[in-house]
Amino acid sequence: MKKIGCYIIGLFFAQGVFTSCKKMDRTYEKFVVPGGITYTGKATSPVVHTGRNRVKISWLRGADPNITNAKIFWNNYTDSVKVDIPANGDTISYIISNLPEKTYSFIIKTYDAAGHASVPVEIFGASYGDVYQGSLLSRPVDETILDTDSIAIKWGGADISNGAYATEVKYINSLGQEQIKRFPVTEATSGIKDLKAGTTYEYRTVYLPDSLSIDTFYTGFVKENKGFLLNQKDWQIIDFSTQHPGDENLVTHVIDGNPGTRWHSWVGNSSYPYHFFTVDMGALRTITSFKLYRMTGDDRACDTFQMLVSADNITWTDVGTFNFNRTIDDGQSYNIPPGSRARYFKLIGLTGPQSYIVLGDISAYGMQ
């Protein structure tokens, strides 16, 4: 009797479970798709290539042979474009133009001929425009050194964090042809060997917002107008007033490129206004300016001086009398009249605090 009772209870329990399952089946029956859902192969390894008010989106075609097209959505699905998928080829790409400058979320779905879609793939990318362009800084030129037949451009720092990767130099070569040469921003000094005599150059900085950008951005061209630093390596002192005994006082120290060395005139054997030295630059140059340094930390330099230039060391042209601040170490620049063509120049110390003179260095700027 006890067994019969348990059997009856088991039947009631099984009936309850069966009834519950039938109810659950009816609840989810409307969500079941006969034959199952078909998904096409999704976009594989998608990449956004940034650009100027545009982007290029690319991805690997994948192994699904049934894919016939894809759609790219952005702006929360309010904008889209259809991309036909060719039967052959490994990579699919499409350029979306006229994109305002900002960061975007792009959704890619692929489709077969029956309209079956893949699962969506989301990628992020940006278009760049006037705001980015306006932030670009031109890499500065610290100095341009003129050698016998070439120039060496010493660059300042480049805005690498914002995408600067090269600098371009535009100039006229010795044959009268316009040239543009590109130098990487990793290069501290760049050389040009065929610059036309008597001319200068322009330069601009080249930017890529990122390494995958399809568009290059440029700063405007800047004309180099500070003048080239004339290389002192071929200079010679061919005449001077006096120098005090001792190697530390040599007149040649004023053209060694080091303001920490000095020319010290002979104490008791010379006096203003007859302290002078004459330099042969070794070649005819168009001089635009001079820069004079006191010896570092020494205030016994002149207060005023005169500069003369000559093409032949016979006929001299006075290009100006200047004041000098002998209390500062920085080089002090002095422009001279345009078109001063010379191979020789002479500095004459006119006045100073002592009877003798102490100077550190002199440099000249100009063109071939």
> Residue 24: pLDDT above 90?
no
Measuring CA to CA, which residue among 13, 12, 368 is closest to residue 199? 368
Overall average pLDDT of the 5-27 stretch: 46
pLDDT for 39 equals: 81
C-alpha 155/C-alpha 139 separation (Å) is 7
Overall average pLDDT of the 332-346 stretch: 95
Element (H, E) at 127: strand 121-128
Overall average pLDDT of the 311-339 stretch: 96
Higher pLDDT, 193 or 3: 193
Overall average pLDDT of the 263-287 stretch: 95
Yes or no: domain 44-131 corresponds to CATH 2.60.40.10: yes
Overall average pLDDT of the 251-280 stretch: 97
Residue 101 burial (10 A CB sphere; 0-12, 13-18, 19+)? middle
> Residue 159: pLDDT above 50?
yes
> Residue 238: pLDDT above 50?
yes
135-226 and 232-367 share one CATH topology? no
| Residue-averaged pLDDT of the chain | 91
Range with the lowest mean pLDDT among 2-16, 102-116, 191-205, 213-227?
2-16
C-alpha 318/C-alpha 74 separation (Å) is 72
> Residue 18: pLDDT above 50?
no
Overall average pLDDT of the 345-363 stretch: 98
φ, ψ of residue 48 in degrees (nearest 5): -105, 125
> Residue 343: pLDDT above 80?
yes
Q: How far is CA 259 from CA 27, 142, 265, 297, in A?
A: 93, 18, 16, 10
pLDDT for 13 equals: 43
pLDDT for 37 equals: 65
Q: What is the CATH architecture of 232-367?
A: Sandwich (2.60)
> Residue 25: pLDDT above 90?
no
pLDDT for 59 equals: 96
Overall average pLDDT of the 308-332 stretch: 98
What's the 3-state SS for 303-321? CEEEEEEECCCCCCEEEEE
Overall average pLDDT of the 8-30 stretch: 45
pLDDT for 36 equals: 54
Indicate the residue type of 239. Answer: D
> Residue 206: pLDDT above 70?
yes
pLDDT for 356 equals: 97
C-alpha 195/C-alpha 192 separation (Å) is 7
> Residue 55: pLDDT above 50?
yes
pLDDT for 60 equals: 94
Q: How many percent of the chain have pLDDT more than 90? A: 83
> Residue 273: pLDDT above 90?
yes
Range with the lowest mean pLDDT among 59-63, 178-182, 294-298, 342-346?
59-63
Query: Alpha helices of 29-119 — where are they, by DSSP H?
Result: none
DSSP type of residue 53: S
> Residue 4: pLDDT above 60?
no
C-alpha 41/C-alpha 108 separation (Å) is 11
> Residue 23: pLDDT above 70?
no
pLDDT for 26 equals: 52
> Residue 149: pLDDT above 90?
no
89 — pLDDT class (breaks 50, 70, 90): confident
Strand partners, 342: 285
Element (H, E) at 180: strand 178-184
Tokens 């004079």 sit on residue:
292
Overall average pLDDT of the 8-14 stretch: 43
pTM above threshold 0.95: no
> Residue 129: pLDDT above 50?
yes
Indicate the residue type of 249. Answer: N
C-alpha 277/C-alpha 238 separation (Å) is 8
pLDDT for 93 equals: 95
Q: What is the CATH architecture of 135-226?
A: Sandwich (2.60)
**Three-state DSSP class for 21?**
helix
Domain range summary for the chain, segments of one domain joined by +: 44-131, 135-226, 232-367
